[in-house]
Structure 1
């Protein structure tokens, strides 16, 4: 396959973004097991990555007529990738992700991984197939991330069977806070191709801030991790002040000067910052080297973001 064709498919899949999906499931695993559990972690990471890439491709498949007008340079409307090939790739990736989750389910003898994968796939299809064009779009996108984090958490209690008390004992705050964060980012990004409306940008930024506040309060919620909170409160609050500041700074710039360039830069930074957020959560609840493992995902994501647009 020629390099230009590979590049077109990589652009279609928005490959730089996939590392944020992996960081989500790694954080979920670290919170509920205290580490990345070997082959189970590989399978869950693969399932998450495949379904995320599927979502990116199917997004362009369902939007090909809109993109032909608003984003004619995208792979499908530009003719660099045929619509038929994109459909085969998108649905194929989604099925492959479900198969990967199914193999993990068989390996760990728990139905929870495949259950979360099915929920994630339905959320992806719902968003791509039409919800994104409605007021429910940001919420549907947020639920995709919620189920992605829960996919990582689905290894709770390894190697025991799926029992409801184990699921009920999970603190779901991190998953829903990540979902709220994505709702804010999606809301903020709704008009990134044109001149943004300040009210929408402000509401998106405030939603992101609310998610940061929720994550900062995690130590005072009910038993969110297998090993409990590991760093002092002062350091924890400073950590989240810095993380939130690096994200909101670009958003404020876009609010003050709502140009497509400023909004796209703010959205791209917010998406990439998901890895930092996941690493920060992991740092509070596990050995530091697991947080470093999550943070290491920033390097390939940043490198690829220089080659392919994240939004």
Structure 2
């Protein structure tokens, strides 16, 4: 039966990996017609799916007590098979990314390490949420690695330090890919922290809440920094071309999406899980912010994907 495996893989979240990879690729000046992008999408899919399967395999003891309906404790999938398939996918994803697509060995290996670390320690250590955010950061950096390596002629030893950086006025600075990757990582950490704080109700301090909401809003900050870096923001006159204002549609959609999710989350109880699903489905909107400076039509397509993922979550849960 395929459904238990789809549940293990949280397959409804898989398109968010595709948008992460595509956003990193395009921000690094990669072309949509380049076949290497397809290999990167395959690599990202294998790494994500393998990591999700291993997540359940590592949680089997907890799930046997608290979530007996999950595929492994219910007997639909054996723990040995889950470990075998999950590890096999991680190895396969690493090989496709590094050996076929030419991604950085350092970045890809770090991503696999973060995936394994999170799977093994996210239950005993609450700080593992930062590792989860780093997984998305590294995924986006891995996606843009082949293009930047060829263009700058970087050796493998230099890629980890210089990957995605731009040389400006005599010093290295963060590139648009790195800036947006940090925004994406902050969003992932923020949505988890907000959910935890809402479940605690009054026990959370105002400072903790402010910090969590600031992380959740990091993609908009990253987007603003990229606009200023690329010079895409220009003053308007009475007869000016208002086309550049279309770029601000997506930040507005992002803010409205997050606000709606927060309104749902404040209902408490099962609504917190629904709100987390909304925020996870909103990841393509985060990637749309990045892609909008390259291709506005594609960015709008990413935005349209968010409600589709929310509907898909009704069939296969996102968490």
Does residue 93 (structure 1) correspond to residue 99 (structure 2)? The answer is no
Does residue 305 (structure 1) correspond to residue 302 (structure 2)? The answer is no
Map Cα deviations across residues 19-62 of structure 1 (whole Å, 9 max, x no partner).
Answer: 10111010011111153252110111111111001111111111
Tell me what 2:169 maps to: none
Mapped partners of 2:2, 2:50: distance in 1: 16
Tell me what 2:194 maps to: 188
Does residue 117 (structure 1) correspond to residue 113 (structure 2)? The answer is no
1:159 positional shift: 4.2
> Larger relative CO (CA 8 A, sep 6+): 1 or 2?
1
Mapped partners of 2:94, 2:57: distance in 1: 20
What secondary structure sits across from 1:218 in the alignment? Answer: helix
Choose which of 265, 268, 274 in structure 2 pairs with 1:258.
268
1:142 positional shift: 0.6
Does residue 274 (structure 1) correspond to residue 255 (structure 2)? The answer is no
1:129 positional shift: 1.1
User: Relative to structure 1, is the Cα distance of residues 197 and 137 closer, same or farther in structure 2, using a 3 angstrom cutoff?
Assistant: farther
What secondary structure sits across from 1:134 in the alignment? Answer: coil
What secondary structure sits across from 1:180 in the alignment? Answer: helix
Tell me what 1:168 maps to: 165
Please tell me the root mean square deviation across aligned C-alpha atoms, in Å.
Answer: 2.7
User: Relative to structure 1, is the Cα distance of residues 188 and 55 closer, same or farther in structure 2, using a 3 angstrom cutoff?
Assistant: farther
Task: Give yes or no for contact 1:180–1:211 (8 Å, CA) kept in 2.
Answer: yes
Query: After superposition, where does 1:228-267 map in structure 2 within 5 Å?
Result: 229=232, 234-255=245-266, 257-259=267-269, 261-267=270-276
User: Relative to structure 1, is the Cα distance of residues 16 and 70 closer, same or farther in structure 2, using a 3 angstrom cutoff?
Assistant: same
Does residue 291 (structure 1) correspond to residue 305 (structure 2)? The answer is no
Mapped partners of 1:153, 1:183: distance in 2: 22
Unaligned runs of 5+ in 2: 167-174, 234-241
Task: Give yes or no for contact 2:250–2:303 (8 Å, CA) kept in 1.
Answer: no
Tell me what 1:33 maps to: 29
Does residue 177 (structure 1) correspond to residue 177 (structure 2)? The answer is no
Map Cα deviations across residues 151-195 of structure 1 (whole Å, 9 max, x no partner).
Answer: 122133474433556642133110011000000112234489xx5
Mapped partners of 2:91, 2:305: distance in 1: 25
Task: Give yes or no for contact 1:15–1:304 (8 Å, CA) kept in 2.
Answer: no
1:298 positional shift: 4.5
Report how many residues are paired.
292
Does residue 218 (structure 1) correspond to residue 214 (structure 2)? The answer is no
Tell me what 1:102 maps to: 98
Unaligned runs of 5+ in 1: none
User: Relative to structure 1, is the Cα distance of residues 205 and 262 closer, same or farther in structure 2, using a 3 angstrom cutoff?
Assistant: farther
Mapped partners of 2:106, 2:197: distance in 1: 34
Look at both structures and tell me which one has the larger radius of gyration over its CA atoms.
2
Task: Give yes or no for contact 2:278–2:310 (8 Å, CA) kept in 1.
Answer: no
Mapped partners of 1:258, 1:306: distance in 2: 19
Mapped partners of 1:57, 1:128: distance in 2: 9
User: Relative to structure 1, is the Cα distance of residues 280 and 241 closer, same or farther in structure 2, using a 3 angstrom cutoff?
Assistant: same
Does residue 207 (structure 1) correspond to residue 215 (structure 2)? The answer is yes
Larger deviation, residues 73-82 vs 126-135: 126-135
